[in-house]
């Protein structure tokens, strides 16, 4: 089983929002504080006005010096569908700039969202989304990258639309970023069946991490070669809470590696030793 670990920069969005953390600082945290070698860069740390090649080359050198690879570039800002054609065209140009940045940074995967809302996806939107993904897939394929959506907002959260787009794009560079448990209930099985064959990256939030071992096992058994990326969302105590979340993931991975060696009976420490026991009396 293959278990590369990443730590999404969005985990520190509170620190980023207050100006207490920049991109170089995030990369230094990965290397020095968390011993993580796969970055997962959210464009809140890399806005469109910061995509000058010389700056990106300095970032890449910083990464190389610390033996850090870019597992995923999460692109917020541009997305594929907007009802206004002028806005769509502007988003496309911005996305092409991000693909150039992804090349310089050595990204393995890139995420860009469908767009849309909670209503039905019209045929015109499907046509645009498929056409743009094919264009981006052609670029990414030549660079050894993959690109696709993340099920976290808009039409990306609906398995039926993910399946439609996946089948219509039909390109080896097209993939999916699975945001665990961000799907309509009870669509988990359908979401996994849709995404696992093309899975390129994962985000594991705090509210599911203690129960994630069976899912991680299923993902690994599918032949997945991407990273397992912690993504924290509370916006508070992010340095400490991300460390806790990362430690739980690493414990799960240690258990799974023992399973493959036949060394245990598939117990889940965090569930059996913590979650099912009564909360101690604080007075004790």
* Per-residue model confidence as pLDDT tens digits over 89-98: 999 999 999 9
Phi, psi of 169 (to 5 degrees): -70, -50
Q: Which residues contact 62 (CB under 8 A, 6 or more apart)?
A: 24, 27
Question: Looking at residues 236-248, what average pLDDT do you find?
Answer: 98
Give the model's confidence band at 278: pLDDT under 50 very low, under 70 low, under 90 confident, else very high: low
Residue 28 has pLDDT above 80, yes or no: yes
Can you give the residue ranges of every domain in the chain? 5-275
- Average pLDDT value for the chain: 92
Question: Looking at residues 257-284, what average pLDDT do you find?
Answer: 60
Question: Looking at residues 55-72, what average pLDDT do you find?
Answer: 98
Give the model's confidence band at 14: pLDDT under 50 very low, under 70 low, under 90 confident, else very high: very high
Give the per-residue SS3 of the chain. CCCCEEEEHHHHHHHHHCCCCCHHHHHHHHHHHCCCCEEEEECCCCCHHHCCHHHHHHHHHHHHHCCCEEEEEECCCCCCECCCHHHHHHHHHHHHHHHHHHHHHCCCEEECCCECCCCCCCHHHHHHHHHHHHHHHHHHHHHCCEEECECCCHHHHCHHHHHHHHHHHCCCCECEEEECCCCCCCCHHHHHHHHHHHEEEEEECHHHHCCCHHHHHHHHHCCCCCCEEECCCCCCCHHHHHHHHHHHHHHHHHHHHHHHCCCCCCCCHHHHHHHCCCCCCCCC
Specify the pLDDT at position 186. 84
More confident residue, 253 or 259: 253
Specify the pLDDT at position 183. 87
Specify the pLDDT at position 283. 45
Residue with tokens 């939030």: 205
CATH domain 5-275 topology: TIM Barrel (3.20.20)
Specify the pLDDT at position 268. 63
Contact indicator for 256, 220 with CB cutoff of 8 Å: yes
Question: Looking at residues 216-228, what average pLDDT do you find?
Answer: 96
Answer left, alpha or beta for residue 6, where phi above 0 means left and psi between -120 and 50 means alpha. Answer: beta
Give the model's confidence band at 126: pLDDT under 50 very low, under 70 low, under 90 confident, else very high: very high
Query: Positive or negative, the Cα torsion across 273, 278, 279, 284?
Result: negative
Residue 276 has pLDDT above 60, yes or no: no
Residue 272 has pLDDT above 70, yes or no: no
Question: Looking at residues 120-131, what average pLDDT do you find?
Answer: 97
Specify the pLDDT at position 117. 84
Residue with tokens 């058994």: 221
Specify the pLDDT at position 274. 56
Question: CA-CA distance, 256 to 216, in Å (whole number)?
Answer: 9
Residue 281 has pLDDT above 90, yes or no: no
**High-pLDDT (> 70) share of the chain, %:** 92
Question: Looking at residues 212-221, what average pLDDT do you find?
Answer: 94
Give the model's confidence band at 215: pLDDT under 50 very low, under 70 low, under 90 confident, else very high: very high
Specify the pLDDT at position 284. 40
Cis peptide before 186 (omega within 30 of 0): yes
**High-pLDDT (> 90) share of the chain, %:** 86
Residue 282 has pLDDT above 70, yes or no: no
* Per-residue model confidence as pLDDT tens digits over 140-194: 999 999 999 999 999 999 999 999 999 999 999 999 999 998 888 788 899 999 9
Residue 263 has pLDDT above 80, yes or no: no
């Amino acid at each position: 089983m293959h278990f590369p670990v990443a730590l999404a920069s969005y985990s520190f969005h509170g620190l980023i929002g207050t100006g207490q953390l920049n991109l170089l600082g995030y990369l230094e945290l990965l290397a020095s504080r968390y011993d993580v070698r796969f970055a997962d860069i959210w464009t809140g740390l890399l806005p469109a006005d910061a995509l000058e090649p010389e700056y990106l080359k300095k970032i890449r050198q910083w990464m190389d010096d610390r033996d850090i690879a870019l597992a995923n570039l999460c692109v917020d800002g541009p997305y594929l569908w907007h009802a206004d054609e002028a806005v769509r065209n502007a988003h496309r140009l911005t996305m092409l700039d991000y693909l150039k940045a992804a090349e310089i940074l050595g990204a393995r995967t890139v995420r860009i969202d469908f767009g849309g809302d909670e209503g039905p996806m019209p045929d015109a939107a499907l046509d645009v989304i498929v056409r743009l993904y094919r264009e981006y897939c052609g670029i990414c394929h030549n660079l050894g990258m993959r690109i696709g959506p993340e099920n976290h907002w808009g039409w990306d959260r609906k398995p039926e639309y993910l399946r439609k787009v996946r089948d219509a794009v039909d390109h080896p560079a097209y993939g999916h970023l699975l945001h665990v448990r961000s799907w309509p209930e009870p669509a988990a099985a359908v979401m996994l069946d849709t995404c696992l064959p093309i899975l390129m990256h994962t985000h594991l939030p705090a509210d599911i991490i203690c129960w994630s071992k069976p899912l991680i096992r299923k993902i690994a058994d599918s032949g997945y070669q991407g990273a397992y990326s912690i993504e924290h969302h509370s916006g508070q105590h992010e340095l400490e809470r991300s460390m806790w979340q990362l430690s739980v993931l690493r414990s799960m991975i240690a258990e799974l590696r023992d399973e493959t060696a036949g060394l245990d009976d598939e117990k889940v420490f965090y569930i059996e030793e913590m979650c099912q026991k009564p909360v101690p009396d604080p007075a004790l």
